[in-house]
Chains A and B, each alone.
Chain A
C-alpha cells in the first residue's frame, strides 16, 4: 500500500559535519511534505516543510530537497551540532491535513 519510509534507521555524524537524512514516499498524490524532529521524551517538533510544486526549500541550517521523479525527500543539516541529536521523521499529507509519518531515523552527533 501507500507508505512513507526511511532509508536508514540510524545515522552517526561528527560534530561540524553536514548530515543528510533520506526518505522515500510512494503516494504520488501527496501535495505536502514535512520534516519533524523528536528529542527523547518530547513530542515531534516541526523543522521544515515543502510543497510538491517545489524542489528545494531552505531554512536555518536545514534544507529540504524533493525529487518527485523518484519520490524521494531529503533533509540536509549543515554544521551538525550535538543538539541536533534526535529522531527525524518525514511525513506526507496524502489527503486533507492529517499526516502520514515514516518510521524515523535516529541521528547521533559525536564530538
Chain B
C-alpha cells in the first residue's frame, strides 16, 4: 500500500459527460501528479500541483482540469468526454524535492 488513495476505483459514463476523480496524497506529501495510462499511449504525465499551486503541465487536454485543495487532496476534472478518454488515471505524490513518486491504485474510466 503506497499510502495514496484514489476514488472511485471504476467509473463508467457516456460521451459528452463530465466526471471528477479524487486523490488523497500520502501524509506529508505536498506534490501531487496526475497520469493517464492507455494501451496505445502508455503512462503520460498530465499535470503536477505543489501545495495548492500548479507546478508543471504535460499532455493535458483543455477539456481536463485539476486542482489541489488546502488539505492537499486533488481532483482531476474531465469534461466533454470522448471514447478515447477511456483509460486508467493515476495519481502520485512525493515529498518536496524528491523524484520518487508514490502511485495510487488508479481510477479506471470507461466512456461508452
Binding site for B on A (CB under 8 A): 32, 34, 36, 41-46, 49, 89, 91, 93, 95-104
Contacts and interface: CB of A to CB of B under 8 A. Distances in A.
A103 B90 CA distance: 16
Contacts of B94: 97
Interface of B: 2, 4, 31, 33, 35, 42-45, 48, 55-56, 58, 90, 92, 94, 98-106
A99 B2 contact: no
Given A46-B100, A96-B48, A101-B44, 19 more contacts: A34-B100, A36-B103, A43-B2, A43-B104, A43-B105, A44-B90, A45-B2, A45-B103, A49-B99, A49-B100, A97-B48, A97-B99, A98-B33, A98-B45, A99-B33, A99-B99, A101-B45, A103-B42, A104-B43
B8 to A, nearest CB: 15
Contacts, number: 62
